[in-house]
Structure 1
Amino acid sequence: MEMARTLDARGLACPAPVLMVKDAIEKEDLLELTVMVDNEASLENVTRFCESRQYAVTSTSQGDGYVLAAHREQNAPTITGKDDAGTDSPPVTRPKTFIMVAGDKLGSGDDELGRKLMLSFIKTVKEMEDDLWRLVFVNNGVKLTIDTSPVLADLQAYEQAGLVILVCGTCLTHFDLMEAKKVGQTTNMLDIVTAMQLADKVISIG
């Protein structure tokens, strides 16, 4: 068993840094792992993934990027059966519905109407109750999760009630909105694809 390894994930687009770390952990059963990344989205995604595999993680700024140091006790089990959010999945008897919000407008035609419809949808989606399992925001949809969003309070209430909200880190970085995000977990395409596989129903809007 290799005890330690250093990975350089700088310059890699999402979800490549997480996939690199996942491959190293699962193939080599590492106790110590140092990962270099060059953006905040990768920092959050790699940290969350390592923690889901029972590694203690610390990070420091270095130049234009970050260095993560992950450590796992030798007798700690390697966890591979977590769900996409990095937590144990409780038994679910109701259908698991995954909703991907890909824009800040619903439908095409009149943009003002589209924005009103999207806000109405977000405020009304709570009526799905426990059937709603994941709410994922990508592309222009991430703008609904920032500090100026008219539905921020609604989304924060959903999250406090237990709904897992995932927000695309690559999209936040593209729009320079990482610091403005106020709700949800910064995520990557690996998390999104995994959640789609686990869901009973996938709905895409926007």
Structure 2
Amino acid sequence: MAQSYDVVIKGTGMGEGEKVLVDNLMKAFIHTLAQRENLPAHIVFYGEGAKLTAKGSGCLEDLKELEKRGVKVMTCGICIDYYELNDHLEVGTITTMGEVVEILSNSNLIVEP
């Protein structure tokens, strides 16, 4: 049986390097995640990662597919407010820091790209 896990995304890019490269890596990570059979229970977005769930993100199609398949896509409310994305959230729900702490503290495995 596959292990349950959660994913935390705290930026628009994956790894270090030029912005175009790291942003493409993150997009590829999310796309590859959406193709897997063993999906995470939650994907929590915070910091600049909140931008990936908002209008204009190149990850929306894959994130909507993940949500359709039962993954809880959650974006930090403080971050949504900070980046003024309230009217631009395209996928998932807005979460509180209390929910984030609850999810992360009870997770069997946290994957951070």
The answer to whether TM tops 0.5 is: yes
User: Of Structure 1 and Structure 2, which has the larger fraction of its residues in strand?
Assistant: 1
Residue 178 (str. 1) matches residue 89 (str. 2):
no
Structure 1: gaps (5+ residues): 1-92
Partner residue, 1:157: 65
CA contact (8 A) 1:94 1:131 kept: no
Structure 2: gaps (5+ residues): none
The total of aligned residue pairs comes to 113
Residue 197 (str. 1) matches residue 100 (str. 2):
no
3-state SS in 1 of match to 2:110 = strand
Which residue, out of 101, 106, 123, partners 2:31?
123
Structure with bigger gyration radius = 1
Equivalent position amino acid for 1:124 in 2: T
Cα-to-partner distance string for 1:114-137 (whole Å, 9 max, x where unaligned)? 111111011001244234111111
Which residue, out of 45, 48, 58, partners 1:140?
48
Which residue, out of 95, 113, 117, partners 2:21?
113
After superposing on structure 2, the runs of 4+ consecutive aligned residues of structure 1 that deviate more than 4 Å are none
Equivalent position amino acid for 1:162 in 2: G
CA distance in 1, matches of 2:39, 2:66: 13
How well do the aligned residues superpose, as a CA RMSD in angstroms?
Answer: 1.4
Cα-to-partner distance string for 1:27-53 (whole Å, 9 max, x where unaligned)? xxxxxxxxxxxxxxxxxxxxxxxxxxx
CA distance in 2, matches of 1:106, 1:187: 22
Partner residue, 1:99: 7
3-state SS in 2 of match to 1:96 = coil
Name the TM-score, length of structure 2 as normaliser: 0.92
User: Of Structure 1 and Structure 2, which has the larger fraction of its residues in helix?
Assistant: 2
Question: Does 1 or 2 have the higher relative contact order (CA < 8 Å, sep 6+)?
Answer: 2
